[in-house]
Amino acid sequence: MTHLHRLNSLATFTGTVLAVVCLAVTATDFVHSGEPLVTCEHVSTEGLQKEFGHDRAYVVLNLTADLRSEFVWNTKQLFVFVNVLFETPTNAASEMVAWSSIVKDKEHAVMTLPALRPQYPYAITDQGFNLRGRHFNITVAWNVMPKVGALSKRVRTFAGFRMPADYDNR
């Protein structure tokens, strides 16, 4: 084998390695830009009370989210909201923010909250006494705030949850 030939083989080999590395990087990018994984469900209700003209339900939710793929070069931060939606005779459509968070970087974009209790006012309320047995949905919504450009909103709905059938004054 001449030196030139050896050099040529080495160049070809290096070229192949570089091509493979490039493909791998592209594949990683592809995986990272995949769909965010989000699930949220109703785990339990720690009390359903009748007070001061309304019902108050202490729901416990289970949020699992991986929003890392929303962080691209142009992402400044995410505003994440967990909402509880229901309809009652008093309010055609009620939407209550159960929880919200600002996610500033990829490292904090993985959320595992198996016992998420609503933030202030710590409970789901309704003007009236209509929460017993009430069906409700949960939405996980997030606004993507870019460094440059317009805010974009995304939402996932999880349907088919239900409040306890009766009051529980624990």
CA distance 17 to 51: 70
Query: Which residue has the closest beta carbon to ligand NAG?
Result: 159
- From residue 37, alpha-carbon distances to 12, 32, 57, 155 in Å are 41, 11, 28, 12
Name residue, tokens 């923010």.
97
CA distance 149 to 155: 20
118 three-state secondary structure: coil
Q: Are 112 and 150 in contact (CB under 8 A)?
A: no
In the complex with ligand NAG, the residue whose CB is nearer, 17 or 37, is 37
- The DSSP call for residue 73 is T
Residue ranges in contact with ligand NAG by CB under 6 A = 39, 43, 62, 64, 85-87, 114, 137, 157, 159
CA distance 48 to 136: 14
- Closest separation in Å from C-beta 48 to ligand NAG: 18
- Closest separation in Å from C-beta 114 to ligand NAG: 4
- Closest separation in Å from C-beta 65 to ligand NAG: 10
- Closest separation in Å from C-beta 102 to ligand NAG: 23
- Closest separation in Å from C-beta 32 to ligand NAG: 21
